């Protein structure tokens, strides 16, 4: 079996996780910029993080013959501070042409605040000016529905953004139809407690169709499983899905979306 892991925070994972993913059939790993579990003290902390995403992690992944790609941004959890956000936004263009940068992400909302929305708008403008793909994080738990609606409205009002070049991640049963009906790609995140379990993810694939969906593990410093995608593929098999359909969902779909960026090339 082959698959792409389109959303994994490998900075928080041990080397054994790279080995396990490679052995399970992973062909590439993509790492969005995110909240590290603590607030960085300054914009320079983000410069170091962007260096890690573009220099250090690709080397770690290469030890297991895994191509490593990344996304850049200041995440919504650190976007309440507009001054810090502006400083980080000013750094991003220095890194945007690096050979593993797929686009701007994971941007979005966390508590659906006015400042988070301002910073989201600035990221969307940056993506439009530099013709970058966009990866969007939707809020957690009770905040997801409202945040997803606000994000869709904001993106729909930006004429420079093509919905087919935006993936809105962490959808669940109540938000997936909103995202897909608006023309965006949707990501289902497989987590042991929050977000989505493998059976629910497969239910959604069956109900909404696999055309613009991908699965990801979003493994990070919290409760998460770097092998969630291949485990879900196995469960699809037990439910009678064909190898062709599984390959479409876990390999060809991420390749189709990410392939819109010229840097996403697999040898």
Partner 1 sequence: MTRDEVLNLYFLDARSKLIDLAAFLDRVEGSAGEDDFRVRSFRAALRHLSESEREKAKAVLLTLSDPTTEPLEKATTKGAAGAWPQFKS
List contacts with partner 1 (CB under 8 A): 35, 77, 80, 110-117, 139-146, 149-150, 172-174, 199-200, 203, 238-240
Say how many residues touch Zn ion, by CB under 5 A: 2
Least distance (Å) from partner 1 to the CB of residue 235? 9
Q: How far is the CB of 175 from partner 1 (least distance, A)?
A: 8
Query: Residue 35 CB, nearest distance to Zn ion (Å)?
Result: 9
Specify the residue for token string 């023309």: 183
Cα–Cα distances in Å, from 91 out to 49, 85, 88?
11, 10, 5
User: Cβ closer to Zn ion: 5 or 205?
Assistant: 5
Least gap, CB of 137 to Zn ion (angstroms)? 6
Please identify, using beta-carbon distances, which residue of 20 and 182 lies nearer to partner 1. 182
Backbone torsions φ then ψ of 90, nearest 5 degrees: -70, -25
On whether the CB atoms of residues 162 and 190 are closer than 8 A, the answer is no
CB 258 within 8 A of CB 216: no
**Residue 218 partner contact from Zn ion, partner 1, none using kind-dependent CB cut-offs of 5 to 8 Å:** Zn ion
- With CB under 5 A as the contact rule, the residue among 34, 35, 50, 184 that binds Zn ion is 34
Check binding of 208 to Zn ion (CB under 5 A): no
Q: Taking contact as CB under 5 A, which single stretch among the options 85-93, 123-131, 214-222, 251-259 is the one that binds Zn ion?
A: 214-222
Q: Which stretch binds Zn ion (CB under 5 A): 26-34, 138-146, 153-161, 258-266?
A: 26-34
**218 makes contact with Zn ion (CB under 5 A):** yes
Give the DSSP per-residue string, 132-199: -EEEEEPPPGGGHHHHHHHHHHHHHT-TT--GGGEEEES--TTTHHHHHHTT-EEEEEB-SSSSB-HH
What token pair was written down for 245? Answer: 């359909």
What backbone torsions phi and psi does residue 91 show, to the nearest 5 degrees? -80, -35
Token couple for 215: 């699965």
Nearer residue to partner 1 within complex by CB, 240 or 262: 240
Tokens of 257: 């979306």
- Positive or negative: CA dihedral 78, 80, 81, 84: positive
Of these partners, Zn ion, partner 1, none, which one is at the site of residue 239 (CB under 5 to 8 Å by kind)? partner 1
Residues of this chain that bind Zn ion (CB under 5 A)? 34, 218
């Amino acid at each position: 079996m082959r698959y792409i892991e389109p959303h994994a925070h490998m900075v928080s994972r041990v080397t054994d996780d790279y080995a396990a993913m490679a052995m399970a059939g992973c062909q590439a790993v993509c790492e969005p910029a995110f909240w590290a579990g603590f607030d960085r003290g300054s914009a320079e902390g983000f410069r170091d993080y962007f260096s890690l995403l573009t220099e250090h992690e690709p080397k770690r992944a290469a030890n297991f013959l895994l191509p490593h790609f990344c996304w850049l941004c200041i995440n919504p959890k650190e976007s309440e501070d507009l001054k810090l956000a502006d400083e980080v936004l000013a750094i991003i263009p220095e890194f945007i042409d690096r050979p593993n940068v797929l686009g701007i992400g994971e941007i979005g909302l966390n508590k659906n605040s006015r400042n988070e929305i301002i910073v989201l708008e600035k990221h969307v403008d940056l993506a439009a000016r530099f013709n970058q793909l966009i990866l969007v994080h939707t809020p957690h738990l009770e905040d997801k529905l409202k945040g997803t609606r606000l994000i869709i409205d904001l993106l729909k009002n930006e004429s420079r953004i093509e919905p087919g070049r935006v993936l809105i991640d962490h959808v669940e049963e109540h938000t997936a139809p909103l995202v897909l009906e608006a023309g965006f790609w949707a990501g289902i995140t497989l987590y042991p407690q929050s977000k989505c379990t493998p059976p629910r993810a497969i239910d959604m694939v069956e109900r909404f169709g696999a055309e613009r969906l991908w699965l990801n593990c979003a493994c990070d410093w919290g409760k998460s499983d770097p092998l969630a995608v291949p485990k879900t593929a196995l469960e699809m098999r037990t439910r009678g899905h064909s190898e062709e359909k599984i390959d479409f969902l876990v390999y060809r779909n991420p390749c189709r979306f990410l392939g819109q960026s010229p840097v996403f090339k697999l040898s």
